Amino acid sequence: MWELLQVGVIAAAGVFGFVAARRFVRGRLRFVDAVYSPAAPFIAAVMAAIVAWPLAALPIITQTASALFAIGVGMGTSTGVRDLKRLALPR
């Protein structure tokens, strides 16, 4: 039972990181030129890992959940930037 709960937390952390980062990039960072840099998803993922890593000390959150959260943030940032580029193209 405990393992199933941990798998759910790990999956939720990844999905939450992806959705939150994509929404933040599309909504708030729309006019920031630095987000269009190829290094932006990597920087976002590293910063998310630094923020989430101390939470791995809690019994329900593992280091895997922290790492998957960081990967989700990086992928969400990348997807949000790609969405912004697609919306900015004239039709």
For residue 35, give its domain range: 2-88
Torsion angle in degrees (nearest 10) through CA of 65, 71, 74, 80: -80
Give residue-wise pLDDT tens across range 14-28.
999 999 999 999 999
Work out how many domains the chain is built from and give that number: 1
**pLDDT at position 23:** 96
**pLDDT at position 87:** 85
pLDDT confidence band for 59 (50 / 70 / 90) = confident
3-state SS of 60-82? CCCHHHHHHHHHHHHHHHHHHHH
Query: Taking the model in full, what pTM does it have?
Result: 0.90
Host H or E run for residue 9: helix 2-27
